[in-house]
Structure 1
Amino acid sequence: MPSFNLNVLMTLVLGLLSLSSLSEAEYRYYVCSNTTSFIPNSTYEFNLNLLLSSLTSNATRELGFYNTTAGSQDPNAAVYGSFLCRADLTSDACQACVATAARETVQQYCPLRKVTIIWYDNCMLRYSNVSFFGNMDEAPRVSLWNLENITDNSNRLTKVLAETITASVSVAADVTSGAKKFATNSFFATKEVNFTGFQDLYSLVQCTPDLSSTDCDRCLRGAIALLPTCCNGKPGARVLCPSCNVRYEFYPFYTRVAAPPPPPTPLLLPPPPASVSRSQGNDDQISSLPTVAIVVPIAILLFLVGCCFFRRRARKKYNVKQQQNVGSEISSVESLQFDLHTIEAATENFSDQNRLGGGGFGEVYKGTLPDGLQIAVKRLSRGSGQGAEEFKNEVVLVAKLQHRNLVRLLGFCSEGEEKILVYELVENKSLDHFLFGSENQVKLDWSSRYKIIGGIA
């Protein structure tokens, strides 16, 4: 009976360990250029699909990094791409993350975009119409941090973090070699130090292995230099760049490799007695063994449950309370601004044939950009009274509110009295057309409406 209980408990322990080690592809951020797009069903889209398929199939490589090209025989339709997985991941976890990134970037985050980079907790995926292999690219930079503050030990955190994460750079970059390493766990380092009492600080640095040691060192130090500005006194933060990334947390977010235990020391045991007398004391000692066999695994089980709980709680808090500080083109007004002549040409000077509808805020027109991308142009009424700067600031804010259930804002135009918003074109119209149009209400059954409510929530 005791051995049966022990086996059951150990099975539960192993199950918890496997559960806590599952690596989910948790999305973090993306940047895709509004100025480069391709036409659906074009040669470029065909090559992009080939590229993403190749990246996904090669994500099982031990290195956790791979770059390739599709359609190189046609320079105008060639696609260059790569992925980088966190070096401590298993090949299965790496492939799962890359597959998720390849699927979601073209379906949800950056459809019809030629230049894209997307980050998840476990991997980064990147592709472009221009080769970036071997280049040290620090832009765009993305800073993410926990909203909570460390009040009592913020100065100590700054000091300890500077010491540990800088030491990790020297290990990862290995500038003394000066060469490209292309080896397992190359350009990757983690470090764990005690912070206060029972609290440990975990840090990680990583570069893409196609860099030189010097470029890796420069990229990581540039990323670390942003931490005091964005994330001073924060209990968790990261800086993401196309060529490198740094991160620290107060929980183990990477897989730690335990050091091999020292060899056991041989013990000199006295020879067993010739006979054992079954006294009352011996009976008590023997009867206590099943109790020990049960209590010890239960204590281990409770300890592991507690670790899993606090680890998941810390990770969830970080996911919910993160903020973004993007030093990239998506947060600059210029990258979102369209020329008025371009809008007029796309809509045939706002012709009635291209008019889709209108309301109290203005008229909406269908248009086609020179690269073939179809857009919806909302020409705001001139009586809004909103200033040019307020309009631009609001546009930049709305452009960051990107979700698969929201129409994507591509940019704006503000010249003279003209204030124009440029959206991606949704051929099937918006939700209100089906909810409130009497001829379309029957097309939405209650199952569909239930899914819509869930999507909105």
Structure 2
Amino acid sequence: MILPFILVLALFDFDNVLLWTHEISLVSHKIWFCDAIDIFYYLNTRLFLLFFYFYCLLPPSTQPQRKNSNSKMATLAKLLSSICVCVIVMLTTKAVEATPTYTATHCTNTTTYAPNSTFQTNLDILLYYFSNNISQSNGYFLGITGFNSVNAVGGLFLCRGDVATTVCNQCLTTAIKEIRQHCPNQTEALIWYDECLVHYTNRYFAVDKIDPRVNLNDGNIVSSVDLGRFNQSLHGLLNDLATEASGSSESKKFAAGEVVVTESMTVYGLMQCTNDLTNSECGTCLKNAIGTIPNGKQGARALLPSCNVRYQLYPFFTSSSPSSSGGMKLGPGTIAVVVVVPIFFLIILFLGCYYFKRRSKKKILLPSIMENFGDEFPTLESLQFNLATLEAATNQFSLANKIGSGGFGEVYKGVLLDSRQIAVKKLSKTSGQGTIEFKNEIVLIAKLQHRNLVTLYGFCSEEQEKMLVYEYVLNKSLDYFLFDPHKERVLSWRERYNIIGGIARGIHYLHDQSRLKVIHRDLKPSNILLDKNMNPKISDFGMAKMIDIDEHQGNTKRIAGTYGYMSSEYAMHGHYSEKSDVFSFGVIIIEIISAKRNALSLHSLDFDDLLSYAWKNWRDEKSLEILDSNIEKSYSYIEVIRCIQIGLLCVQQNPDDRPTMERIVSYLSNVSVELPLPQEPGGFMGNRTNQIPRDNISDQRNNSNTTGSSVNDITMNNSFPR
């Protein structure tokens, strides 16, 4: 156990480090730097030491004369991993972790946001994305959350154009953490460091304004003897830098330079704009900033939200020109060796680490991925969301964002960085049933597109979590408006008729118009979502089945569905077809018209269910007896009568007697088409002999208050996502 520690100490014996360090003193400021050649030479030496020490430490089982190749490979994998760790330690230990230099903060102090408010949620999301995009940002990032709302939060971060990536990353990490401590609950805040800037606001950026700003001036004044030449040189330098920065075609609008005033005085200047500004806007911002700088000071800064200007009488930025410092001169051959050799070894180390890490990761992930998706996975990769994105969108899946629950798990509302509202269906880790639904919904919905089907944005399968990401649907589900005693309003007949037509078109698409023939198998009002215009969206394809285009039915031993919506042939024998969906649709029609449920308890002895009640009234020419009393004064007699008759046609006992969805759509769209007479309805709850033993029905447990719902039923306590 002690050998690795001895090894590390030996490797980092800095008394013998072959690294030349140069010290340059500039007006009491010291700049330390290393030649690239020297660094490579140092790495070369240390890499050879690494291989030597690790070879000496290898156990006998890994020596070349041994024939156990599996043991060798296992030990080699551990060896390469250890080497990678030590190389990283070696490199990072030599790096000096420079603490960012705090400059100033500006807080609006006029408006604040309340804790746990929507604004705070949007700000949390924005700063979270800032943190996650530092390493890929190239020193700049602009984003907005809650777009087009009163709680929108816009923001950006910007690193100084000359700082190294590591310095930029550390500065931004510090600034993102500190900004809210400096400006608690402020709706706008800016924090400046020497190396970076972070800014968020609840209003649009205005590049032509000089406020909010911070001016910092050196207390020392240039002597009157040199003042004239100083002012002339300074103004010339600032104008030149402003022209260079605003005219830059590079991604960074940055310029730095110097001008000699006298033999003992040199002025150093720096300017930068945020990347979102046009060249003209950058020039305007810099002109405004220069206008706030006083005369005669030995140093000054103007810090604006979209640009900044600084000058000093000492160098404070990194020069892009080659170093003129002296040192040990190396010949071309030596340079080639000290550069190429360490690069070669680093490549070998990287490839080795990558190979073994990838191999290990595949052992963990591939069985799970292939088990869930099989050959479908390559076509679904573009729909993947990472877990961090969904955690940020849902405020870490907070209780306040929870909008539904069921036997499968829970549903959360979220907002993506592009302001899309989503609903995240998070499957329970212990729900084997949920895993089947997870695969089914992704494979099916990803291939289906129709205005009356819910839109699937994607999925997440990460860290044992399985989630489906849908568009957010504002107006909950149909069963809320039909059956909830606390519903906010009553659906008009016109809305009900449009909902019936929309559901019919959606099912018709599944059966006849998509490139797949899909049998939903769990159609019911709780699986019909309503958007802001009360257009229906068919959801929950966890129980759906695909059949060949030229086939019309399938069989299953796993009967899953919802009591009151299953046809007798499916409930009794497991025969599902387009006509079993037609039966469910007929039940939905009768429920929409009557605002009463058809679902009964499994062992109910009440034969007079909703379908029988509707049939008896139609047979006795009293069809309107089933009409919801809330709309008795505002309905179309012809439309109501036709819909009742269509519903009864759909729930007939014999599947062959039921119309196809294509025929139903034509019935609804053309009132002149004559309807056939329906036969007495059939359903698995229709009489005592048709009751189904419990062991023939798949587990129907759920968390909802609805009697007899399917395993994937959802209890809504808020709007459900789209």
- What is the TM-score when the length of structure 2 is the normalising length? 0.32
Q: Which has the higher strand share?
A: 1
Highest CA radius of gyration, 1 or 2? Answer: 2
- What is the TM-score when the length of structure 1 is the normalising length? 0.49
